[in-house]
Amino acid sequence: MPNTAANGTGINRTRVMGILTVGLFIVFMAVLSLIPMLPEVSGELGVSKPLMGIIMGSFMVFMAIPQVPIGVLSDRYGRRLFVTAGILVFSFGLLIFGTANSGIQLLVARSISGLGVAMFFPTAYTIVNDIYTIRERGKGLGIISMAVGLGTVGGYILGGVVGGYFGWRSVFLSMSVASLLLAVSTLIWLTETSPHSRDVDFGVRKLLLATLLMFKDKTILLAGLVSMLCGISVIGASYILPFFATGIVSPIQMGFIFIPYAVTSSFGAFLTGFLSDRVGRKPPLIVMILLGGGALLLMSHVTLTPLAIAINFGFVGLCLGPVVTLSTAILADQVMKKDVRTLGTAIGAFNMIRWLGAATGPVIAGLILEFAGARTSFFVLGIITLCATLMSLFLKETLE
């Protein structure tokens, strides 16, 4: 990986990517570590299952909604501030969670953590687009998407193993310290990557207006809708899987059944991102969505063994990491051809659409589960994914 940024500002690209990948790994490991520990947290604090669901959802809502204003501000005032501040806020949320004594405190802590991720996550993706040229953008986005996936795997293991031996509080308190150290490292080693910050002729109102006009572009709009539909399907299916696997998979096996899904999501993101720099964004995007949607339809009709469930659900992960990587690359390709000064704002709006869609996934899947069962839920989610495939056929290839 070359050391100098493509924009010619002399930025050490290896160091910047190192900080971002470590940061995303730590953040998502901390976020996902809660999943295996949910029963323990709920039981110790006497939190009901509905309230626990609200606590889980609050993170995604607070992660999604602020992304547009944060994108605007990062275009105006630079990226570095929001990386550091986001990690500090996230660390504070983990600290509150690790010391909480009630469901309300958990809700506040998770919401604060979501706000921190809202500041860090889109800014990290924007930085990658700042420092990579169009012919390398897929590789750069693939690297950080892989870090997200590996952090997800690490989170399941951290929550299951460390939380099992030392208790759930130890996990969140230790990750709070790790996040704090990471924030300090960004102050020391992370340099500003946006040469367009503080453009006196391009204020906040112009940024917002320019971004809204961007979404009149059919390719940008379709990429956002494809990403949103895949988010609904994948996150919804992740919610359904434990209910579907009950009676087939033992409680111990349940902790490992998501690992192939996380691995394919992370390594699939890296490989398809790298490949898209050579063959274009559109062909691998269509293939990934088809494979993920096909796996969901298979789960709706075929009785599977525990191993087969894990392997098949691994294909569902192809609709997450690779789709995030490729759809973001398509957006960045188009935006940087039009006006590079709006990149952070556009990615913020793009991610808000994606994550709000993902937040509705468990709601839609849960309603279908309640009235029609898990297999019907997988079938409907599979159809939603195939609709995303049809939309992707109308995307314009942006790698020119």
pLDDT 10s digits, 81-105: 999 999 999 999 999 999 999 989 9
Stronger pLDDT, 7 or 313, i.e. the higher one: 313
Chain centre distance of CA 362: 16
Average pLDDT, the chain: 83
Both structure tokens of 129: 């687009």
pLDDT(112) > 90: yes
Is the torsion defined by CA of 12, 17, 18, 19 positive or negative? positive
d(CA 96, CA 106) in angstroms, rounded, equals 8
How far is it between the farthest Cα atoms of the chain? 62
Residue 72's nearest CA partner among 119, 112, 20 is: 119
Joined tokens for residue 381: 């989610």
Let me know the angle formed at the C-alpha of 352 by 348 and 355, rounded to the nearest 5 degrees. 130
Q: Would you list the domain boundaries of the chain?
A: 13-189+196-392
Spatial separation of the C-alpha atoms in residues 35 and 19, rounded to whole Å: 26
- pLDDT surpassing 70 at residue 202: no
Segment 240-289, tens digit of pLDDT: 777 787 677 665 566 677 788 888 988 898 899 989 999 999 999 999 99
Distance in angstroms (rounded) separating the CA atoms of residues 50 and 44:
16
pTM to 2 decimal places:
0.77
Topology of the domain comprising 13-189+196-392: Growth Hormone; Chain: A; (1.20.1250)
Please, which pLDDT band fits residue 10 given cuts at 50, 70 and 90?
Answer: low
Cα distance between residue 43 and residue 45, in whole Å: 6
How far apart CA 300 and CA 317 sit, in angstroms, is 16
Q: Which of 18-27, 73-82, 307-316 has the highest mean pLDDT?
A: 18-27
